[in-house]
Copies of this chain bind each other. A is one copy, B any other.
Amino acid sequence: MDIASIVGILAAFGLMLAAILIAPGSSLAAFYDAPSLMVVIGGSIAAAMISFPLKNFLGVGGVAKNVFFNKTANVSSLIETIVSLAETAHRDGLLALESRIDEIDNKFICLGIQMAVDGTRPEVIEDIMRTEIDAVATRHKDGKSVIDQMGRFAPAFGMIGTLMGLIIMLGNMEDTSSIGSGMAVALITTLYGAIVSNAIFLPFAEKLGFLNKQELLSMEIIVRGIMAIQAGDNPRVIEQKLNTFIPPKARAGAQEAA
């Protein structure tokens, strides 16, 4: 559960709400227009549906969920786990790792350890693990790009809605008293597009990109760890190598714990 993203969304919408309510002579009702919502939200979704195969489009919910419910791997404890596996392998041999597979809940470590225990050749292990990393990177990028596109389409459909509103308004200029309200309604669509894009889609896409990068880093650490364990490296050397991936502060803690 990622508190920052939830607080961020609440803050963004709370601030805009507050700014509307403070303003003299404004009312929330003036900021609600169903057809505008339809054009912006519906249009962005429709454009995303055209842009992607159905399966990828439908997967966007599961992808977006990660923004809030991500279990960012704790890199320090990941390194501790690998070092502890390296100590077992160093003390009792590679085969002793088999008994420890059950206690590890990171599937990528298990995959590597299993292959090492099975005596798979190092090149094959590295090849399979790196292909897996590439595949994960591709899948994540695909998921992110649906949200990215929606963040790009939303302001465009906001502008489309505003142009539609302006054209309708300009066609009814006899009634000059309604020009102001007609224009206000027209602008709402642009406002919706800007809000949806800048307070939801773009930050979500940014966060997913960030999380992906972090997961790929964890996987990279695991590959290097497994390769070093299989090569029979000294656990202390492995720890030193892997620790370079994390900032010095986090490192100290890891060393104490190890």
Contact = CB atoms under 8 A, between A and B. Distances in A.
B124 A237 contact: yes
A20 B169 CA distance: 12
Contact of A139 (B153, B191, B247): B247
A198 B153 contact: yes
Contact of A171 (B107, B173, B180, B207): B180
Contacts of A217: 138
Contacts of A50: 4-5, 8-9, 12, 67, 199-200, 203-204, 206-207
A161 B19 contact: yes
A111 to B, nearest CB: 9
A213 B43 CA distance: 25
A184 B186 CA distance: 13
Q: How many copies does the complex hold?
A: 5
Interface string A4-17: 11011101100110
Given A180-B170, A206-B149, A240-B128, A5 B199 contact: no
Given A7-B49, A12-B50, A25-B171, 10 more contacts: A4-B54, A16-B39, A16-B160, A19-B164, A20-B164, A23-B165, A50-B200, A153-B198, A153-B203, A166-B187
B244 A128 contact: yes
Contacts of A153: 198, 202-203
Q: Interface majority SS on A: helix, strand, loop or mixed?
A: helix
B171 A26 contact: yes
Interface stretch (A30-38, A78-86, A88-96, A98-106): A30-38
A229 interface: no
A42 B67 contact: no
A167 B138 contact: no
A168 interface: yes
Given A26-B171, A49-B5, A135-B245, A166 B184 contact: yes
A18 interface: yes
A191 B188 CA distance: 16
